[in-house]
Amino acid sequence: MSKALEGVRVLDMTHVQSGPTCTQILAWFGADVIKVEFPGRGDITRSQLRDIPDVDSLYFTMLNSNKRSITLNTKSEKGKDIFWKLVRHCDVLVENFAPGALDRMGFTWDKIQQVNPGLIYGSVKGFGPGPFVDFKVYENVAQCMGGSASTTGFDDDVPTVTGAQIGDSGTGLHLVAGILAALIQRSHTGEGQRVECAMQDAVLNLCRIKLRDQQRLTRGPLKEYPQYPSDEFGDFVPRSGNASGGGQPGWVLKCAPGGQNDFIYVIIQPPGWALLMGVIGREDLITDPDWATPEVRLPKLDQCFELVEEWTLTKSKFEAMEVLSKLGVPCGPIMSMKELGEDEALRKTKTVVEVEHPERGKYLTVGNPIKLSKSPSEVGRAPLLGEHTEKVLAEIGLTEEEIENARLDGAI
Ligand code: CAO
């Protein structure tokens, strides 16, 4: 079966996490992703957080599957010549260097457009135009600057970053959407364009509901927040602990046997109250006017959840899920990474995949979470550094002698 992006060539100048997330998805959809890496060292993540000496790290291998790797010193003269050949050869260029890095190498957008007017040029940067445009950014900086940290955690504690990589992988996903839109537009116009995603913007987009709450706050306290009904609201959205971000209240409840991840998240929809009270043996609260409606429960949500927790404490998180889900009560156990890695259903759908690597042996990775019925993703391994240099350079027209000269010059 053919792949959705078969025939699309991507010049992948990405490193670390945000850019590689984007190009990995393009590769899963069938694009030929040619990752350009500095000779000898490669993407810095190859050697970061290594679990096996001298073997590409999981950091690298889990973000670069299905790609080809070439080494190229794009600051050398021969390297620059090869870069321009690659620009002519490819449909998309993706990069996430520090601001201005490609321009400093002489690869300006103006020149790129002249060389290949159809090229789509995707970039991740920390910030869009404005006072911070020239600054370097990593994941947690983006979480702090995009509104996630100020709204995550508990009110009486420090701002907290989340384990979900919304700054890096989140921005990479936004960039994928932009590149695909640009490819569709190009099919009508024949023209390429720039696609720019700032990490701050992507995080803010993912924190959209908190900007919603900021505006609601001007009209009164946020009744579903744990701070309610006290009048402790300031003039900014506070951290809401584990409260649900939607219109239905939810909270994390303890389960048996009381381990670090023995918890279940339970949501109380209006019709769910009667079901939950039935399960926990408090039928009296189904019609009691002090408890019967969402409005009267709002000021005492903590007590509502305490009632349900008395029951969840007697069950394991999976037992509790089974009982509640059968009744249609939305809920979910807190899953550890150990449990997710071993989850049979996720392995069956290839969301968790075991991959064979020539140097590290088998490793687990997260497969393509986007399932296309006519473009199945086979998640392959990540390339070794420079594994495809000669093949790719031959494909773009270099002779064996030219490749050898480039090697002698240290350009590859
Ligand atoms: N050949 C020659 N030079 C190369 C090269 C190659 N193949 N690949 C990279 N380089 C050079 C760059 O041109 C740059 O040189 P200059 O400093 O002379 O311009 C240099 O290597 C270092 O690149 P960098 O500044 O991007 O890397 P860094 O480690 O200092 O910063 C990061 C990393 C991520 C903070 C920065 O790239 C950045 O802010 N990127 C944009 C935002 C982003 O994506 N952040 C998320 C990263 S994932 O957590």
Q: Which of 12, 168, 213, 262 is catalytic?
A: 168
pLDDT digits over 287-321, tens only? Answer: 999 999 999 999 999 999 999 999 999 999 999 99
Within this chain, domains 9-205+343-408 and 249-329 share the same CATH topology: no
Closest CA to 114 of 81, 94, 86, 87: 87
Which residue's C-alpha comes closest to atom 5 of ligand 1? 38
Answer whether 97 contacts ligand 1 (Cβ < 6 A): yes
Domain-by-domain residue ranges, the chain? 9-205+343-408, 249-329
CATH class of 249-329: alpha beta
Q: Looking at residue 372, what is its pLDDT?
A: 97
Nearest-atom number in ligand 1 for the CA of 79 is: 1
Kindly provide the b/e burial profile for residues 163-197, where b requires at least 16 CB atoms within 10 angstroms of the residue's own CB.
Answer: eebbbbbbbbbbbbebbbebbeebeeeeebbebeb
Q: For the chain, what percent of residues have pLDDT higher than 90?
A: 97
pLDDT digits over 114-162, tens only? Answer: 999 999 999 999 999 999 999 999 999 999 999 999 999 999 999 999 9
Query: Is 274 in contact with 280 (CB distance < 8 Å)?
Result: no
Which residue's C-alpha comes closest to atom 36 of ligand 1? 98
Distance 13 CA to ligand 1 centre (A): 10
CATH code linked to domain 9-205+343-408: 3.40.50.10540
Q: Looking at residue 247, what is its pLDDT?
A: 86
pTM, to two decimals: 0.96
Nearest-atom number in ligand 1 for the CA of 136 is: 39
Answer whether 171 contacts ligand 1 (Cβ < 6 A): no
pLDDT digits over 157-180, tens only? Answer: 999 999 999 999 999 999 999 999
Please spell the DSSP secondary structure of 92-121, one letter per residue.
Answer: EEEE-PSTTHHHHTT--HHHHHHH-TT-EE
Largest distance between two CA atoms of the chain: 87
Omega before residue 257 within 30° of 0, cis: yes
Answer whether 101 contacts ligand 1 (Cβ < 6 A): yes
Answer whether 72 contacts ligand 1 (Cβ < 6 A): yes
Rounded average pLDDT over 364-392: 97
Answer whether 75 contacts ligand 1 (Cβ < 6 A): yes
| Best residue among 14, 82, 97, 123 to mutate for probing ligand 1, ranked by most atoms within 8 Å of CB | 97
Distance, CA of 53 to CA of 359 (rounded, Å)? 11
Active site residue 168: yes
Pairing of strands 250-254, 361-366: unpaired
**Residue 100 CB partners (closer than 8 Å, separation 6+):** 134
